[in-house]
Amino acid sequence: MNTDRLVLDASHAGQTLSAVLRQWRDVPWSTAKEWCTRGKVTLNGTVERDPAARPGTGVVVELHLRARPADAAAPDALFLERWRLIHCDPQIVVVDKPPGVNSVPFEQGERGALVDRVAAMLPKWKLAPAHAPLFVVHRLDRETSGLLVFGRTWVAKRHLAGLFRKHDIERVYLALVKGRMYEARKIETVLLDDRGDGLRGSARGRTAPHIGQRAVTHVRPLLQLAGEGGVTLVECKLETGRQHQIRIHLSELGHPVLGDRVYARYRDDMPPAPRVMLHARTLGFVHPTRDNGEVVHYEAPIPEDMMAVARRLGFVGETLPA
């Protein structure tokens, strides 16, 4: 079915959107959340990506399970600015992903994912023949900006996939978080797919690795900004790379990422942000052709929307420190 429609009544009062979807369509929490975060749900005709939203009585919920034809036909669906190409050689491509773009398509007929944009633009940039292969080895969340590497050969794909599997990749993120953080710290938890309310989160009082996935994030404050309660620019180095790891760890630490509408517990008192203020700044790894083990490093410029939020909070420099 292409679209389903539900008008909320008193029986839905107080329920989160993910709870409504789960009860209505008899699906797991994870499916209900994914429908929201992938833009498949509208409330009174407006896309709602927040699974924790609490729509009121009388609100019309519509579920769009297929990519919309208008989205698929958008003229710029496969466009990518040339400056976002950070590095390209016969083995790999490193790209600065814009926010609001999926890393990969999630369903048949969906257009505009980063992998499709890169594959379409490389021939236009005279860097690859038409229909040249491009292999996905990792992903970023839709709202996260920053560096992604793709393999261009099977050798590169196997090499990079092995590095990610063994966590032998240097990944450094920048985030604007609520509150004032003054000390660096190591966060190590066991992440669960469902912490009890349908969201991913850390196990409480249980540390056995078989119940979830070990997750380690190293956090370091870089800059204090203004805003109610303060805002801190932090550097996050991933020792592991689990889904939503940084967002979960920072939220559980009491410093949710600005713009995070899923894991932030008290969103109303956070300074406004147009999206999750998380940016994959640095990527380092052993190149597929470097037999000596030399690590190559790539950096992505800080995006303008993140700079705009920082300036609104009192930052006056040209670019944020890293």
Q: Which two tokens stand for residue 239?
A: 């020792």
Question: Quick check: 305 and 100 in contact, CB under 8 A?
Answer: no
**Going by DSSP bridges, is the β-strand pair 3-7/231-238 parallel, antiparallel, or unpaired?**
unpaired
Q: From CA 275, how far away is CA 112, in angstroms rounded?
A: 19
Q: Which two tokens stand for residue 259?
A: 């713009």
Q: Which amino acid is present at 236?
A: C
Active site residue 141: yes
**240 class by beta-carbon count within 10 Å (0-12 exposed, 13-18 middle, 19+ buried):** middle
The DSSP bridge partners found for residue 285 are 296
Catalytic residue among 141, 168, 193, 269: 141
Question: Quick check: 288 and 281 in contact, CB under 8 A?
Answer: no
* Matching residue, tokens 């590169």: 156
Give the count of beta carbons closer than 10 Å to the beta carbon of residue 75.
6
Rg, C-alpha atoms of the chain:
20
Question: Quick check: 31 and 20 in contact, CB under 8 A?
Answer: no
Q: From CA 49, how far away is CA 39, in angstroms rounded?
A: 6
Q: How far is CA 317 from the centre of its chain?
A: 27
The residues that are catalytic are 141
